[in-house]
Amino acid sequence: MYAISLGDDGAELRPLEPWHAQEFLAHLDRGREFIGQYISFGSRETDVESARALLTRYAEKRAADSGSLHGIWLDGKLGGGVLFRTFDAQQGTCEVGCWLEPAAAGRGLVTRAMRVLLDWAFDERGMHRVEWYAASANQPSVDVARRLGMTRDGVLRESHLHRGTRQDIEIWSVLAPEWRAARARAAHNDH
């Protein structure tokens, strides 16, 4: 398959597939409380079979061209991932997301991995709009959206019930022309 370097620190973006179930479960167990602060991703996966089932659902989504999971490995150890939660090539829209265990947080891994996904979505697949949903209280997630040059479209007030608390969910997006213009500016500034 693929392994895309995310920088000089040994981080790589790779497929996250059903045969990774045991490693994925160990990763979720290391970060379960941290990951679950704002999202329920991985909360029901408490044994190898349920971890494999989640990975299989995303493998089926990839086969149907409606979503996919991509792991972030740091020095050969799974530390998190990025995903296309939804992917609608016909409409040209998709939703991206992420998760990390604590040991991988604060290193810019999600931002670097998400740039790879956004480049692919816009350049290879011709997407027009990529969306990012984040709980307003999840400042690291909101910060990634900002670093990616996304625009805050609005807030779904108290729309998400998580762990008994209603959360405001912010919707961020970037459009293909905005992404290309930002990349061109960055390339020009590098020279």
Q: State how far the Cα of 186 lies from the Cα of 145, in Å rounded to an integer.
A: 17
Q: What pLDDT, on the 0 to 100 scale, is given for residue 184?
A: 81
pTM, full prediction = 0.90
Assign 61 a pLDDT band (cuts: 50, 70, 90): very high
Assess contact for 145 and 135: CB atoms under 8 A: no
Q: What pLDDT, on the 0 to 100 scale, is given for residue 47?
A: 95
Token pair 């991206």: residue? 96
Q: Taking residues 2-30, what's their average pLDDT? A: 92
Q: pLDDT, tens digit, for every residue of 71-130?
A: 999 988 999 999 999 999 999 999 999 999 998 988 899 999 999 999 999 999 999 999
For residue 163, pLDDT beyond 80? no
For residue 191, pLDDT beyond 60? no
Q: What pLDDT, on the 0 to 100 scale, is given for residue 171?
A: 96
For residue 159, pLDDT beyond 80? no
- Mean pLDDT (the chain) is 91
For residue 42, pLDDT beyond 80? yes
Q: Taking residues 61-78, what's their average pLDDT? A: 94
Q: Is 165 exposed, middle or buried (0-12, 13-18, 19+ CB in 10 A)?
A: exposed
Per-domain residue ranges of the chain: 4-190
CATH topology of domain 4-190: Aminopeptidase (3.40.630)
Nearest CA to 169 among 6, 40, 30?
Answer: 40
Which residue did the predictor score with more confidence, 159 or 74?
Answer: 74
